[in-house]
Amino acid sequence: MHRRRFLQTAAASLLAGASGRLFAAPSGGSDARLLLVFLRGGYDALSALSPYGEADYHEARPNIAIAAPAKGKVAAALALDDYWALHPALSDNLLPLYEARQAAFIPFAGTDFVSRSHFQAQDWVEFGQPAGASAGAAGGFLNRLLQVLQRGQPHVDAVSFTRALPPVMRGAARVANSPVSMARAAAMAPEQEDRILALYRGHALESQVRDGIGLRRHIADELREEMTYADRGAAPAQGFALEAGRIARVMRERPQYRLGFVELGGWDTHAGQGGAQGSLANQLRGLGDGLEILADTLGPVWRRTVVVVLSEFGRTFRENGTKGTDHGHGSTLWVLGGDIQGGRMHGEQTRLRLAALHQERDTPVLNDLRGVLASLMRDLFALAPADLAEVFPEVRPAGIRLV
Q: Is residue 5 part of a domain?
A: no
pLDDT band per the 50, 70, 90 thresholds, residue 11:
very low
Residues 146-174 have a mean pLDDT of 92
Per-residue pLDDT of 186-211, as tens digits, reads: 343 456 667 666 776 777 656 655 64
Neighbouring CB atoms inside 10 A of 388's CB total 19
Residue 199: exposed, middle, or buried by beta-carbon count in 10 A (0-12, 13-18, 19+)?
A: exposed
Q: Which domain holds residue 101?
A: 31-183+234-391
Share of the chain above pLDDT 90, in %: 66
Q: How far apart are CA 284 and CA 363, in angstroms?
A: 20
Tell me whether residue 10 is in a domain: no
Rounded CA-CA distance 376/366 in Å is: 17
> Looking at the predicted structure, is the pLDDT value of residue 51 above 80?
yes
DSSP β-ladder status, 367-368 and 103-110: parallel
Instruction: Report whether pLDDT(173) > 60.
Output: yes
Q: What is the mean pLDDT of residues 58-74?
A: 93
| Distance from C-alpha of 369 to C-alpha of 354, rounded to nearest angstrom | 23
- Say if 3 falls within a structural domain: no
Q: What pLDDT does residue 229 have?
A: 46
Does residue 301 belong to any structural domain of this protein? Answer: yes
Could you give the number of structural domains in the chain?
Answer: 1
Kind and range of the H or E element at 333? Answer: strand 331-337
CA dist 221 and 65 (Å) reads 26
Report if residue 251 sits inside a domain.
Answer: yes
216 domain-assigned: no
Domain membership of residue 402 (yes or no) is: no
**Has residue 246 been placed in a domain?**
yes
CATH number at residue 171: 3.40.720
